[in-house]
Amino acid sequence: MSSTSSTIGNTMEGGGDPIAMIKKYPGRTKTTHIKEHGGSKEDAIGEGKNDWKALFDAYDHFGGTEWFIVEHETSSDPLKTLKACIDNLHKMGR
């Protein structure tokens, strides 16, 4: 069974640990929404407080993740922020 999961933002917002969730449900994050959490609402992926290396390691080793869906709800310039998210993901090898 594959699923789509917003493991980072929703889990952290609820006080949970997204890495623990990915490990608890192996293979269940074939597609996943990713976004920054804990910094400014304007932060693009890679500019906030998420430990992306640890998150991507969990997705790679436990999640079975094939697709990352960039999620960003708040921006004064959405296209600029989306480009920053994609550029930062490329810098992280994604």
DSSP per position, 43-94: PPTTSSS--HHHHHHHIIIII---EEEE-----SSHHHHHHHHHHHHHHTT-
Q: What is this structure's pTM?
A: 0.86
Q: Quote the domain boundaries for residue 46.
A: 4-91
Largest Cα separation within the chain, whole Å, is: 38
What are the pLDDT digits (tens) for 5-16? 557 877 888 889
pLDDT band of 20, cuts 50, 70, 90: very high
Q: Say how many domains are in the chain.
A: 1
Q: What number of other Cβ atoms are within 10 A of residue 64's Cβ?
A: 15
Residues 53-63 have a mean pLDDT of 96
More confident call, 3 vs 85: 85
Percent of the chain whose pLDDT exceeds 70: 93
